A and B are shown apart, each in its own frame.
Chain A
């Protein structure tokens, strides 16, 4: 029963992956493919010690991007789910409209929001100035101070529905008797939230967060379309660095090396994460 899935994964994912990983250890540069050979860890060394693009900076950017995107998507998704928990008239249509952002492609989102965040004629600046929040327009995507915030905001706008839906379902699955018991014990709304709701839906949250983390790390589309890693590499994350190595510099070897680094980091993270989550459960 598992066989067909396995065949698909093996043929189209794992087999190409092996070949792709091999490239990470070769001097596979499209500029000159006449002498491709095994070079050990040189690609990795070159990427990490690159004087022109600080690997450490890119790594920190990746963490910043992932952590804040995840945190805000989760919190806002949770708030949204809480407000949607009680049925109201037109809730069906409402959820259709508020969750649609998940249905957009990363490419379209990047395009739309680059325009909205435009430093001269962008909608965001226009509204902020109209409502007297700021006086002069802000270069959201060009000012290193605001660039990362802006792309994260866009990512959050996109990702809230995912958590919204997951958490709404999880909230609705909490049996009412647990709530009744809590009310009898005199628990207020906040206490009920923290002592009943959250512990009950914790398993769902744990696995969803992990998956979402992996997806965010491997989702360069928005940044690529909005700032391409700039300005001054402020929004350059590991996956955008990889795209640029492959598409602009034709250096597939280094690109593959970054890919391997990403997978290793995510792999290690998952192992640690799951251990910690299991320990907290008392397993």
Chain B
């Protein structure tokens, strides 16, 4: 009957809206709270009952963040390290993911998979002290590029797993078809290979970037000078024996969230596209 189907559709629509709203509110509320906190005067922080809107909003937290705490330097360091390492991991994993995907030797494939998956079971703390010793022996402390190399190593395994699954979905025949059609290398690169691999590469870049940007323990251990610190280290340094400076800390959390939110926001389109099977129509 027409009406029942229409009712069903309306119900489904309403249901969807309700769910979507619930998800959004649950996700956003904590962010709103920290944002509001970053605008609060220290005296307003611990009031009870809660102030959902600051009575005397102030940018003092942000000012303190950038002047007193020199956050700009840390932000730059994090950008440098995260962009560099994510890019490196992306390139490396495209190479190894492709190789793994096209590998014919079954046993070899198994071994390589094992190496990659096993690396995901390793807790960071068990390699922390040995890494520290290596860095010390080679004089690599305080070198942001050395830290980037370590970060590449921490994300390259998962990136390879991801990239391998992307290439599994790209038929081998595609590369050959392009050749047969008489494309030059550059043409096939631009019109065939790149459009297919780009979403996957973007996805890997995003995951790597977020992981690396937020990494704390290795950065604390392997960096020494204040001017080399990264954002998570800086945030962590707002905690001292005598408590947390909430005004600076909450401002710092908001600012630290921006790059990852942007990268992730832009990247999700690619992540979804890259993971979508059958996006390759011949």
Contact = CB atoms under 8 A, between A and B. Distances in A.
A and B directly contacting (CB within 8 A)? yes
Nearest to A11: B153
A90 B13 CA distance: 16
B34 A173 contact: no
B196 interface: no
A157 interface: yes
Interface string A81-105: 0011010000010111111111111
Q: Which 9 A-B pairs have the closest CB atoms?
A: A169-B275, A12-B153, A105-B214, A173-B277, A16-B130, A103-B260, A259-B126, A1-B99, A19-B130
Nearest to A100: B261
A210 B275 CA distance: 17
A120 interface: yes
Contact of B156 (A8, A94, A106, A263): A8
Nearest to A106: B214
B112 to A, nearest CB: 7
Contacts of B268: 95-96, 99, 165
Contact of B275 (A121, A166, A215): A166
A100 B121 contact: no
B125 to A, nearest CB: 6
Contacts, number: 221
A141 to B, nearest CB: 15
Which of B50, B99, B263, B274 counts the most chain A CB atoms within 10 A? B50
Contacts of A233: none
Interface residues of A, number: 80
A269 to B, nearest CB: 9
Given A17-B126, A211-B120, A108 B235 contact: yes
Interface of B: 16, 19-20, 23-24, 26-31, 33-34, 46-50, 92-93, 95-96, 98-100, 112, 115, 117-131, 133-134, 149-150, 152-154, 156-158, 160-161, 165, 210, 213-214, 216, 232, 235-236, 244, 249, 253, 256-257, 260-261, 263-265, 268-269, 271-279
A95 B262 CA distance: 12
Given A13-B154, A111-B244, A168-B272, 17 more contacts: A2-B100, A5-B160, A9-B153, A96-B268, A105-B216, A105-B232, A106-B214, A107-B235, A112-B30, A112-B253, A121-B47, A157-B26, A169-B275, A204-B277, A239-B123, A243-B125, A255-B126
A48 interface: no
B50 A263 contact: no
Nearest to A103: B260
Contacts of B16: 83, 86
Contacts of B134: 15-16
Contacts of B276: 169-170, 172-173
B253 A9 contact: no
Nearest to B162: A211
Contacts of A140: none
Contact of A107 (B24, B28, B118, B236): B236
A244 to B, nearest CB: 11
Contacts of B48: 120-121
Contacts of A169: 271-276
B50 to A, nearest CB: 5
A270 interface: yes
A111 B125 contact: no
B271 A165 contact: yes
A9 B260 contact: no
Given A106-B214, A108-B253, A169-B275, A17 B34 contact: no
A80 B23 CA distance: 8
Contacts of B47: 121
A111 B249 contact: yes
Nearest to A238: B123
Contacts of B19: 79-80, 83
A54 B180 CA distance: 67
A267 B121 CA distance: 7
